[in-house]
Amino acid sequence: MELFFAPECLPFAIAAIMLAALTAIEMLCLLVGFSLGEVIDKAGLDEHNALAGLLSWLNVGGVPILIFIMLLLALFSMTGFVIQSIAHSVWLPLPALVASVPALLLSLPTVRASSRAVARIVPRDETYVVDLKEFVGRTAEVSVGPLDQGLPGRVRLTDKHGNWHNLRAKAAKGEPAITIGTQILIVDRAKDVFIAIPAPADLISTLNTTSTEQQ
């Protein structure tokens, strides 16, 4: 704990605090059906310059940008504390600026490898393979809700390729609030927000029967 508050570890402590703050903010946003990560993704990084090339090499496109930022903060912080711990045990801690350089250089390739691994398990809102309109008519499960006519919640479903997607959704006009865990049917789309109704009982029964036969 003393190392955490030491002046020479200030950049790494700030990175750790930023990581905790971003995690807390995103969790609070998801509770009200809003995603900070989605806002950052929509801002885009379309500049064709050296920074864009570096970010592309780091695999920003493979994971949501917020997750990339959180990975970078976590790895930079951990690497910095390890460097200072080793320096302290061998001789004396390095100045904060001096320690930050190798911490950043070591964390960048690690972020690249980590983001590739995370990209395989993090559901994405969009894909170059599946058109968003193809989700209309499919069933899903409410993961963040309840769904009503206010702020969008979230539903989870798989596409025809078996890939998971996490989509923004609202209940259709006139429908009561749809609770978390409820099976829904996507009936329409308004831009990037899908409109849902509770899945009919006969449809759920058919899906359950199909799932049982496949097992």
Q: How many domains does the chain have?
A: 2
**Bridge partners of residue 165, in order along the sequence:** 124, 157
| Residue pLDDT, tens place only, 22-62 | 888 888 877 776 666 666 655 555 444 455 555 655 655 55
Complete DSSP assignment for 107-118? HHHHHHHHHHHH
Of 119, 143, 171, the residue that ends a domain is: 119
pLDDT of residue 211: 46
129 in helix, strand or coil?
coil
Claim to verify: residue 107 and residue 151 sit in the same structural domain: no
- 167 is in which domain, residue-wise? 132-214
In a domain, 125, yes or no: no
Please state, in angstroms and rounded to a whole number, the distance separating the CA atoms of residues 188 and 185: 9
Q: Are 60 and 96 in contact (CB under 8 A)?
A: no
Helix (H) or strand (E) holding 88: helix 65-90
Using the predicted structure, report yes or no on whether residue 198 has a pLDDT greater than 50: yes
Q: Are 152 and 169 in contact (CB under 8 A)?
A: yes
Q: Give Dmax over CA atoms of the chain in angstroms.
A: 72
pTM of the model: 0.54
| Residue pLDDT, tens place only, 124-158 | 544 445 677 788 888 899 988 889 998 888 898 88
pLDDT of residue 215: 41
Give the pLDDT mean for 53-77. Answer: 74
Instruction: Give residue 101's identity as a one-letter amino acid code.
Output: V
The CATH number given to whatever domain includes residue 159 is: 2.40.50.140
pLDDT of residue 185: 92
